[in-house]
């Protein structure tokens, strides 16, 4: 399908209200088991489980996306014995396989700055250790300010820069234009530059983590969906799969947009909701084609989109306002449909037309570009946009960890 970006799309406003969930509570009266039969509908791509499941594990990680495999790698490398990762179908078969792969050192939060710093370093480390290319490109990011308030915000962010191990500095409009000559500079007042930012290939990164995790002794089972969980009186866990039960000292819910229903297996109502998230990929753009070096990633904060180079074109991804977001509320009440795995949603260019128009104004070369691909996939969010990471504290619940909503 080749849609033409320059065709102006009629904006469609969708009045979707952001529903806030209270923080998860435990114990709850709701408990259920995933239907093992429904998991058979999940179209396995690599046949059935290849070897007998272990009976015992120190840590069982549920979910083989970039988060679960990354965690398996880090735990095993840190010396934890008996790390087991259970994946329902195949690695990356949730949000990971279609992500745009942007990585950044930037974050307004002091603690998150550290997480970003460590993450980018782990990408390089796992590639070096395993020999698996993770597809990292590091052209840097320029955040654009086109209002005085945004300029103030950038200056404020620079005052917090002492907490950041990665470099970051302000750019004049001239410097911005020098680094990204395709920009229309009419409204640009300042840039905030993070050298070393860029993008990875999320599929390859996940495979690298998996190779590294196995190298350090972790076991990864694919086609091994978790169907039930129960906590024993000593705080350890029985984790059920169609291939048997594993007894684990602790469990980590890293099931992406299924994390909510994995939570429900033991009565947790996690504050997670899935949102449809889109980006478009353009065909070749002569001005991009003519370049010898990769363009920095642009984050236009007033336009609310990012644009990064992809081969000779661009990937443009919007950050939609709450009223335009398309939320999968029924996935919270009814669960993810059993057959949904590596599927995408139907894309809706109308919904993101104002962001594409903003991109066309900022990067005029986009006006004549074709959209050669659009991707609309599920992304999991928390009400405050902070990830649910760490031990889950609730009366009566022990040794239950979360790595979701990231
Ligand atoms: C269009 C789009 C673009 C994006 N772009 C970016 C970007 O540029 N940068 C960025 O950082 N993020 C981006 N994201 C977000 C990113 O994709 C996610 O944050 C990330 O992939 C989440 O990884 P995960 O491992 O938590 O979840 P997932 O990738 O969803 O993995 C969860 C895994 O759990 C497994 N699972 C589910 N149920 C069970 C069960 N019962 N038993 C065992 N396993 C189970 C699933 O099969 C799946 O493999 C984007 C998302 C979308 C939709």
CATH number at residue 294: 3.30.9.10
CA 202 to ligand 1: nearest atom: 21
295 lines ligand 1 (CB under 6 A): no
Torsion of CA 384, 386, 388, 390, to 10 degrees: -130
Q: Does a structural domain hold residue 171?
A: yes
Range of the domain at 323: 3-17+137-197+276-380
15-24 residue pLDDT tens? 112 222 223 3
| Model pLDDT, residue 342 | 87
Instruction: Kindly report the average pLDDT of the chain as a whole number.
Output: 88
Atom of ligand 1 nearest to the CA of 91: 49
Which pLDDT does position 39 carry in this prediction? 39
How far away, in angstroms, is 254 Cα from ligand 1 center? 9
Q: Is the peptide bond before 16 cis (omega within 30 degrees of 0)?
A: no
Q: How far away, in angstroms, is 236 Cα from ligand 1 center?
A: 27
State the pLDDT at residue 74.
98
Residue tagged 């984790």 (tokens): 239
CA angle, 168 then 97 then 336, to 5°: 115
Q: Using a pLDDT cut of 90, give the percent of the chain over it.
A: 79
116: Cβ below 6 Å to ligand 1? Answer: no
Convert the pLDDT of each residue in 200-245 to its tens digit.
999 999 999 999 999 999 999 999 999 999 999 999 999 999 999 9
Residue-wise pLDDT for 108-166, tens only, equals 988 889 999 999 999 999 999 999 999 999 999 999 999 999 999 999 999 988 888 99
393 falls within a domain: no
Whether pLDDT at 304 is above 60 = yes
Comparing 35-49, 55-69, 124-138, 385-399, the range with the smallest average pLDDT is: 35-49
Closest-CA residue to 98 (of 318, 391, 374): 374
pLDDT value, residue 385: 85
From atom 33 of ligand 1, which residue's Cα is the shortest distance away? 63
Q: Residue 291: inside a domain, yes or no?
A: yes
- Please report whether residue 30 resides in a domain: no
Q: Give the pLDDT confidence score for residue 65 in this predicted structure.
A: 98
Ligand 1: nearest atom to the Cα of 199:
8
Residue 253 domain-assigned? Answer: no
State the pLDDT at residue 33: 41
Q: Residue 48's pLDDT is what?
A: 63
Please give the distance, rounded to the nearest whole angstrom, from the Cα atom of residue 50 to the centre of ligand 1.
Answer: 24
In a domain, 71, yes or no: no
Ligand 1 geometric centre to CA of 195 (Å): 26
Ligand 1: centre distance to CA 378 (Å) = 8
State the distance from the centre of ligand 1 to the C-alpha of 392, rounded, in angstroms.
Answer: 20
For ligand 1, whether the C-beta of 299 sits within 6 Å is no
User: Residue 7: pLDDT above 90?
Assistant: no
Residue 163 placed within a domain: yes
Overall domain count for the chain: 1
State the pLDDT at residue 40. 35
Residue 344 clears pLDDT 50, i.e. is over it: yes
DSSP string, 80-145: -S-EEEE-SSSTTTTTGGG---EE-S--SSHHHHHHHHHHHHHHHHHHHHH------B---EEEEE
Residue 361 has pLDDT above 60, yes or no: yes
Residue 339 lies inside a defined structural domain of this protein: yes
Q: Is the CB of 279 under 6 A from ligand 1?
A: yes
- For 222, the token pair is 């694919």
Distance CA 34, CA 167 (A): 46
Cβ–ligand 1 contact at 101 (below 6 Å)? yes
């Amino acid at each position: 399908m080749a849609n033409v970006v320059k065709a102006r799309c009629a904006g469609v406003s969708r009045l979707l209200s952001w529903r806030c969930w209270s923080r998860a509570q435990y114990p709850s009266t709701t408990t259920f088991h995933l239907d093992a039969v429904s998991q058979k509908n999940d179209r396995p791509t690599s046949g059935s489980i290849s070897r007998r499941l272990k009976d015992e594990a120190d840590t069982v990680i549920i979910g083989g996306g970039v988060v679960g495999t990354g965690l398996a790698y880090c735990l095993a490398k840190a010396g934890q014995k008996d790390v087991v990762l259970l994946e329902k179908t195949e690695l990356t078969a949730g949000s990971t396989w279609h992500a745009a792969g942007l990585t950044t050192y930037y974050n307004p939060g002091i603690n998150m700055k550290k997480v970003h710093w460590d993450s980018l370093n782990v990408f390089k480390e796992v590639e070096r250790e395993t020999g698996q290319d993770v597809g990292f490109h590091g052209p840097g990011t320029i955040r654009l300010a086109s209002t005085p308030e945004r300029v103030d915000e950038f200056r404020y962010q620079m005052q917090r820069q002492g907490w950041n191990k990665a470099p970051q500095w302000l750019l004049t409009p001239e410097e911005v234009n020098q680094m990204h000559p395709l920009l229309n500079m009419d409204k640009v007042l300042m840039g905030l530059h993070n050298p070393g930012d860029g993008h990875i290939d999320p599929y390859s990164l996940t495979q690298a983590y998996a190779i590294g995790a196995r190298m350090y002794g972790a076991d990864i089972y694919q086609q091994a969906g978790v169907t039930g969980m129960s906590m024993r009186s000593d705080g350890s866990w029985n984790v059920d799969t169609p291939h048997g039960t594993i007894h684990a000292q602790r469990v980590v819910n890293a099931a992406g947009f299924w994390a909510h229903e994995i939570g429900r297996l033991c009565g947790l109502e996690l504050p997670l909701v899935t949102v449809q998230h889109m980006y478009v990929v353009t065909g070749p753009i002569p001005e991009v084609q003519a370049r010898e070096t990769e363009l920095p990633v642009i984050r236009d904060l007033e336009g609310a989109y990012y644009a990064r180079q992809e081969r000779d074109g661009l990937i443009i991804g919007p950050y939609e306002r709450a009223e335009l977001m398309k939320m999968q509320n029924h996935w919270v009440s009814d669960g993810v449909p059993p057959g949904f795995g590596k599927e995408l949603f139907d894309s809706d260019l109308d919904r993101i037309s104002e962001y594409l128009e903003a991109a066309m104004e900022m990067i005029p070369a986009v006006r004549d570009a074709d959209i050669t691909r659009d991707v609309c996939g599920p992304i999991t969010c928390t009400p405050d946009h902070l990830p649910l990471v760490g031990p889950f504290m609730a009366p009566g619940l022990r040794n239950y960890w979360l790595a979701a909503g990231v």
